[in-house]
Amino acid sequence: MPETRAAPATIVHYRIEPKDPHAHLFETSCTVDAPDPEGQRFRLPTWVPGSYLIREFARHFVAVRAHGPAGAVAIVKDAKDTWRAAPCAGPLTVVATVYAFDLSVRAAYLDALRAYFNGAAVFLCPEGLQHARCELAIAAPSGTIGHGWRVATTLPVTAVDAAGYGRYHAADYDELIDHPVEIADCATAAFAAGGVVHDIAVSGRQRGDLARLARDLAVVCQWQVELFGGSPAARPPFDRYLFQIAVVGDGYGGLEHRASTSLVCSRDDLPRPDEKGISEGYRKLLGLASHEYFHSWNVKRIKPAAFVPYDLTREAYTRQLWAFEGLTSYYDDLALRRSGIIDARSYLELLGRTITAVLRTPGRHRQSAAESSFDAWIKYYRQDENTPNAVVSYYAQGALIGLALDLTLRACGSSLDALMRALWQDYGQPGTGVPEDGIARLASNLAGRDLSAFFDRHVAGTEELPLAELLRGVGIELRLRAAGGGDDRGGTAAKESDALPRCWLGATIAGAQEPRLKHVFNGGPAERAGLAAGDVIVAVDGLRATASLLERLATSRGTGETISVHAFRRDELLTAAVVLEPAPLDTCWLEIDASADVPTRDRRLAWLGADPLPG
């Protein structure tokens, strides 16, 4: 960003209005009192913090015009994300019409049922004024749409009406775009954690038990506040917090912000009013909320040096996303266990699934967690048919690095909890970025011995993590088996009724009636036979192919058998002779060792927070 020229009193005025909900159009404006005499430039971010993909928000700016005291002012684009107004006297106002129909939490959305926006997708930043104070007026939609809507945001209030329409402010542009705004007829709930009010605002049709959600989230949030604060009296680093939840038929996602998070979840993931235990969907939703809340510290305040400050004009490269996303992924489910929301067996099931996901990614032998972080912009966020062969997830692999680091530190008398607190004290509270070698150095200090070999091998390198050995040290046995079918994500032992898979094709299948190879694994039987991702399998040994027929090959045929496959690649028919190979043992489950000795059991207790039941 260019040097600032904002005097302390300079204020940039913004306004937003849900202008035409049926056409999904917001109108936004930005007013600068004293525009640059050379011609004021305005810029829109190309990405939103927390989501490492160049999104080109400017592509949804459908019309931009400007006016000053003397009338219309010429404004032209001089790059994909910048506009330049002709030199003029102030105040200069730029008005933009912005198309908003993105149901993810990363941009903006508007229809007759709800309005939602991230500032990065709708507010222009006047160049040179990114540090100036911002004022935002949020206007109600005109006409009959929006009856019953209320504004839900953590943006600081200047003066608003009962529905929340009116004036808000932010210290600078960075803060302006870090408080997403939901405007809808939301169902609400609230709870306290760390002495601070936490609100929940849920849009979309649903009949979930929000009081239950509030009770459970209170426990998880309190645990996290204490983790970072180091005491039951600790307070979180914000005065209030908001969970914005958009409920849809089928969806999942979240984005973290400094005092709020935007989540998308499936309707069935909300707890039912009569729900006693925790359904798999509800556990997933709690894990997602826990993940985004953990980011309030880890990435929103403890930041990689490359994000201090954010450069939203281009990719911000860091090799540390494995820590900012991966350690957050490690703690999201662990916080559910350690706070007592789920039991140890449920937690070990989730951990077994994470291990399974990584074991099914041969790309981990090619790409390190550090490289995956660096190339997030062009690889993890832009997945294709070859991704499992070439890429490792810095979320899942980062979570396993977190597990291995935690158990390593615990063996040295410290823990990852202590490392997170040290990161918070050394980097988060002072607001300085974590240097690229910062975590390795801190970990070595806490361990009282040099851990750089761990980071060289498992973070910068692709060496397998010694998970079985580390878990044995806390009385947990890591078991492996072949996958029981396409929907087997691991985490549990094979059901006795399942016939044991003997062989595999070396590919994943999509589509039930017209099965298609989704991913073809390097060096596997399908690839060796010349089949490729995207091939539509029409017959196997002369019989019409379905997904279930292909799945049954694993148990009905044996290693070394050759099958004849007919497939279409685009519109050309091919035949291939596929020699089946032994099914890989890529499905993990974790068992508690009931016979572990007392010191081992005590270490398990210290890690998992309570002595798990055997079995």
Residues that bind Zn ion (CB under 5 A): 325
| Dihedral angle sign, alpha carbons of residues 570, 571, 577, 581 | positive
**Using only C-alpha atoms, what is the Rg of the chain?**
26
Considering the complex, state which of residue 228 and residue 521 has its C-beta at the smaller distance from Zn ion: 228
The three-state secondary structure class of 470 is helix
Considering the complex, state which of residue 60 and residue 295 has its C-beta at the smaller distance from Zn ion: 295
Q: What does 406-457 look like in DSSP terms, one character per residue? A: HHHHHHTT--HHHHHHHHIIIIITTTPPBPTTHHHHHHHHHHTS--HHHHII
Considering the complex, state which of residue 351 and residue 583 has its C-beta at the smaller distance from Zn ion: 351
Considering the complex, state which of residue 327 and residue 370 has its C-beta at the smaller distance from Zn ion: 327
Q: How far is the CB of 556 from Zn ion (least distance, A)?
A: 42
Q: How far is the CB of 576 from Zn ion (least distance, A)?
A: 41
Helix (H) or strand (E) holding 565: strand 562-569
| Dihedral angle sign, alpha carbons of residues 456, 462, 464, 465 | positive
The two tokens of residue 44 are 């829109």
Considering the complex, state which of residue 130 and residue 298 has its C-beta at the smaller distance from Zn ion: 298
The two tokens of residue 600 are 């081992």
Q: How far is the CB of 375 from Zn ion (least distance, A)?
A: 17
The two tokens of residue 587 are 């499905």
Residue 591 φ then ψ, to 5°: -120, 140
Q: How far is the CB of 381 from Zn ion (least distance, A)?
A: 13
- The residue at minimum Cβ distance from Zn ion is 325
Rounded Cα distance between 407 and 330, Å, is: 12
Considering the complex, state which of residue 325 and residue 586 has its C-beta at the smaller distance from Zn ion: 325
The three-state secondary structure class of 396 is helix
Considering the complex, state which of residue 66 and residue 399 has its C-beta at the smaller distance from Zn ion: 399
Considering the complex, state which of residue 324 and residue 589 has its C-beta at the smaller distance from Zn ion: 324
Q: How far is the CB of 220 from Zn ion (least distance, A)?
A: 15
Cβ–Cβ under 8 Å, residues 417 and 227: yes
On the CB side of 41, CA atoms within 13 Å amount to 15
| Dihedral angle sign, alpha carbons of residues 72, 74, 77, 82 | negative
Rounded Cα distance between 565 and 578, Å, is: 7
Q: How far is the CB of 201 from Zn ion (least distance, A)?
A: 20
Rounded Cα distance between 236 and 227, Å, is: 10
Q: How far is the CB of 255 from Zn ion (least distance, A)?
A: 8
Q: How far is the CB of 291 from Zn ion (least distance, A)?
A: 5
